[in-house]
Amino acid sequence: MDLLIWIGSALTVLGIIALLWCVKMVIGIRKQALPEADMRAALQKAVALNMAALGISGIGLMMVVIGVILA
């Protein structure tokens, strides 16, 4: 079960790093002052990446909890 906890921790950290990268990306997009259509398309891509990062982080946390329960 230790392996499950470590893998879950790694996934959680990876997800949090990806979330921070999404925040940085959105700040950069907003500073570019793009036309509305281009900004909307770029932000939609950022939202998709944000949801993927949140999902990875959530799966990692679930793995940690299951590993702790089974340990």
Q: Report pLDDT for 57.
A: 95
Which residues 6+ apart lie within 8 Å of 55 measured at CB? 15
Tell me the CA end-to-end span of the chain in Å, nearest whole number. 6
Task: Identify the domain containing residue 54 by its residue range.
Answer: 2-65
CB crowding 4-21: b at 16 or more within 10 Å, else e: bbeebeebbeebeebbee
* Number of domains making up the chain: 1
* pLDDT tens by residue, 15-47: 999 999 999 999 998 899 888 888 999 899 999
Q: Is 33 contained in some domain?
A: yes
Whole-structure pTM over 0.85, yes or no? no
The answer to whether the CB of 9 falls within 8 A of the CB of 57 is no
Please check whether residue 70 lies inside any domain of the structure.
Answer: no
Residue 48 lies in a domain: yes
Residue 35: inside a domain = yes
* Mean pLDDT across the chain: 93
pLDDT on residue 47:
94
d(CA 70, CA 60): 15
Residue 71 lies in a domain: no
